Structure 1
Amino acid sequence: MMKRCYALFLVAFLLGLSGCSTGNSAEIDKVGLLVPEAVNDGVWGTKGYKGLLKIQSEYNADVFYKEGMKNDTSIKQAVNEFDKKDVTLVFGHGSEYAEVFNNLSADYPNIHFVSFNGDATEKNTTSLRFKGYAMGFFGGMTAAFHSKTHKVGVIAAFDWQPEVQGFIDGAKYQNSDTELEVKYTNHWDDSTAALNELDRLISEDVDVVYPAGDGYNVAVIEKLKEKGLYAIGYVSDQSDLGESTVLTSTVQHADKLYSIVADRLVNDKLDSGNLEFDFEDGVISMGKFSPVIPKDFQSEMKKHIQNYIDTGKLPNGKESKQ
């Protein structure tokens, strides 16, 4: 009798384990991705696509993606198609998806919607935000250190980007005599506007520029290289565009963030609302330093970054603002 009870208990226990495993894998069985431009843009879109592929590899999930998803109508159609394929996790790779995801969420209760840099307000919506202030601070320090004219510039997409103020504060901390010029394109991808602003900065004797827009930073860096000037890379490690031009880069590892989201989802730990991530989460880092930056300054910067990871304190003794 005892043996029979033990056998029944063992079967029940194993079935329970099997049920738990099946539940988790089902939650990450099919994943969809929407990008506003293309997955082969080499910067932001590519990072989202790599994140999708990481989930595919780590969870053996079926993945789907759609490019050029810029307006509400196309987004709604794409989500409806994903739903028909039983997709349960949808990433909208940008801030433009947050509001429409909020509006759609009630119609698709089996989908968890994830966007970036927006305001997620529903129980099955989450918005991810990189805390950009600190990376901007370290980028600004590097720019001010290397500038020979003591004039550095920023070409940003929008005035809400925390990395812009971080860059300004970091440059001023490194050298209080540094003059800063900040220009805005009001669009992530407007290369024409960015290059026009670059011409103005160059005419003002700016010799280091931070192109804080993923859709135009490559064009700006290429022109700076032609002029023998310098850049701080943005979103990706852009040292491959010219290691004597790109002093360092402020890198956002969106692909790693996708893995974090997937892991939290399968473990029932993915919160709704707005979530922030920084250096200590392993999703922000500084890129490779140019050989024109002295080794002792590179070592100093690496110590500052590690101290920030350990204590949350920037080199000025303050905590990151955002």
Structure 2
Amino acid sequence: MLSRFGIIFLCLFLLSACGETKAQGHLQKAGLLVPDTVNDQVWATKGFNGLLKIQSKFNIDVFYKEGMNSEDKVEKAVKEFDQKGVNLIFGHGSEYAEYFNKISKDYPNIHFVSFNGDAKTPNTTSLNFKGHAMGFFGGMVAAHMSKQHKVGVLAAYEWQPEIEGFYQGAMAEDKNTHVSIEYVGNWDDDNKSIQLVDRMLDTGVDVVYPAGDGFNVPVIERVKDRGQYVIGYVSEQSDFGESTVLTSTIQQVDKLYVKVAEQFNNQKLKSGNLSFDFQDDVISLGKYSPLVDKGFIHKMDKYIETYKNSGNLPK
């Protein structure tokens, strides 16, 4: 089993039957910092899986640290990583952008990567998933499947672009749909999220989009218990029940980790804030429930392909 510090050693393996090995290039070792645990089965787990894929692809040692929820802890972890020869560090959350901006000048040989923040120094990069289209297509599915013409978004914060996207997608599919929106004000408040989703369901909402990776699992379980439907968020969540999860809006964090590592290894990783969408093959819709008719699924596939090619959403 892996230690909590997460030191993972991997022996070199053959690239193919011809016996060639992969070159390490500029990437020497990679590290990951998460604010809580890598076992949350949603956001942090996807980051950890991305780290493991980097390990496998580049034949390098990788390290991770959990509970990195303060500037002091991050500084100590980065110092340890530096001593071990890590030159690419992922901070799996928006809070790490500020930490990395402050300490990156002290580690010019390390490139620091965070999410949904504002990277301001030459050796920092912030990755951002564009959520508008993801929410839009989720809203289309929700409106199409709502028997009561009432759907709901349970979001963490008002700034999330997938909220407006969900609303617009629902309207594009059925202008008679009523969209309820509630804000938890936190990524991880299970109790409040359950209270809010109960209130939604009590008003007749029959499809819910729990747009918070920390609380979406208990919300899905509650909606399932009450016999209604959800659109999964961030991860493929059809395993919670195909009669409950109509589809999922997936952010393929693990694939993005590998993409970033490849760019860094080839010395092509840009500093600053980078955005990714369906066109980059790191956002997608997941498996559809058998309850969703095949004709509609075919229509959705065409809409998504059009968006990937032109950037235009359905009207």
Match in the other structure for 1:218? 217
**Which 4+ runs in 1 deviate beyond 3 A?**
none
Q: CA RMSD in A?
A: 1.0
Q: Which has the larger radius of gyration?
A: 1
Match in the other structure for 1:133? 132
| Distance in 1, Cα, partners of 2:158 & 2:256 | 24
Once the two structures are TM-superposed, the CA of residue 181 in structure 1 deviates from its matched residue by: 1.1
Match in the other structure for 2:42? 43
Match in the other structure for 1:65? 64
| Distance in 2, Cα, partners of 1:218 & 1:98 | 27
| Distance in 2, Cα, partners of 1:202 & 1:302 | 29
> Contact 2:139/2:168 (CA < 8 Å) preserved in 1?
yes
Q: Provide TM-score, normalisation by structure 2.
A: 0.91
Once the two structures are TM-superposed, the CA of residue 138 in structure 1 deviates from its matched residue by: 0.3
Alignment deviations for residues 113-154 of structure 1 (CA, whole Å, 9 cap, x no partner): 000000001000000000110010000000001111111111
Match in the other structure for 1:167? 166
Match in the other structure for 2:27? 28
Alignment deviations for residues 141-186 of structure 1 (CA, whole Å, 9 cap, x no partner): 0000111111111111111111111001000111111111111112
- Which residue type is aligned with residue 181 of structure 1? S
Once the two structures are TM-superposed, the CA of residue 267 in structure 1 deviates from its matched residue by: 1.1
- Which residue type is aligned with residue 175 of structure 1? D
Once the two structures are TM-superposed, the CA of residue 59 in structure 1 deviates from its matched residue by: 0.6
Matches within 5 A, 1:202-213: 202-213=201-212
| Distance in 2, Cα, partners of 1:159 & 1:34 | 26
Match in the other structure for 1:251? 250
Say if 2:227 is the partner of 1:228. Answer: yes
* Structure 2 SS opposite 1:163: helix
| Distance in 2, Cα, partners of 1:81 & 1:27 | 20
> Contact 1:149/1:207 (CA < 8 Å) preserved in 2?
yes
> Contact 1:29/1:60 (CA < 8 Å) preserved in 2?
no
Match in the other structure for 1:182? 181
- Which residue type is aligned with residue 151 of structure 1? K
Match in the other structure for 2:308? 309
Say if 2:294 is the partner of 1:295. Answer: yes
- Higher fraction of helix: 1
Once the two structures are TM-superposed, the CA of residue 27 in structure 1 deviates from its matched residue by: 2.7
Match in the other structure for 2:190? 191
> Contact 1:250/1:286 (CA < 8 Å) preserved in 2?
yes
| Distance in 1, Cα, partners of 2:214 & 2:197 | 15
Q: Provide TM-score, normalisation by structure 1.
A: 0.89
> Contact 2:154/2:211 (CA < 8 Å) preserved in 1?
yes
| Distance in 2, Cα, partners of 1:41 & 1:297 | 33
| Distance in 2, Cα, partners of 1:206 & 1:192 | 19
Gaps in structure 2 of 5+ consecutive residues: 1-22
Gaps in structure 1 of 5+ consecutive residues: 1-23, 317-322
> Contact 1:33/1:65 (CA < 8 Å) preserved in 2?
yes
Aligned length: 293
Once the two structures are TM-superposed, the CA of residue 199 in structure 1 deviates from its matched residue by: 1.3
Alignment deviations for residues 91-117 of structure 1 (CA, whole Å, 9 cap, x no partner): 001111111100011111111000000
Match in the other structure for 1:5? none
> Contact 2:249/2:286 (CA < 8 Å) preserved in 1?
yes
Of the structure 1 ranges 116-125 and 174-183, higher mean CA displacement relative to structure 2 is found in 174-183
Alignment deviations for residues 19-48 of structure 1 (CA, whole Å, 9 cap, x no partner): xxxxx7353111110011211211111110
Match in the other structure for 1:21? none
Once the two structures are TM-superposed, the CA of residue 68 in structure 1 deviates from its matched residue by: 1.5
Match in the other structure for 1:271? 270
| Distance in 2, Cα, partners of 1:247 & 1:294 | 11
* Structure 2 SS opposite 1:27: coil
| Distance in 1, Cα, partners of 2:47 & 2:309 | 28
| Distance in 2, Cα, partners of 1:236 & 1:268 | 30
| Distance in 2, Cα, partners of 1:166 & 1:177 | 17
- Which residue type is aligned with residue 248 of structure 1? T
Q: 1:297 to 1:246 in 2, by over 3 A?
A: same
| Distance in 1, Cα, partners of 2:70 & 2:188 | 16
Match in the other structure for 2:14? none
Alignment deviations for residues 248-278 of structure 1 (CA, whole Å, 9 cap, x no partner): 1000000000111011111111000000011
- Which residue type is aligned with residue 245 of structure 1? T
- Which residue type is aligned with residue 269 of structure 1? K
| Distance in 2, Cα, partners of 1:45 & 1:105 | 23
- Which residue type is aligned with residue 250 of structure 1? T
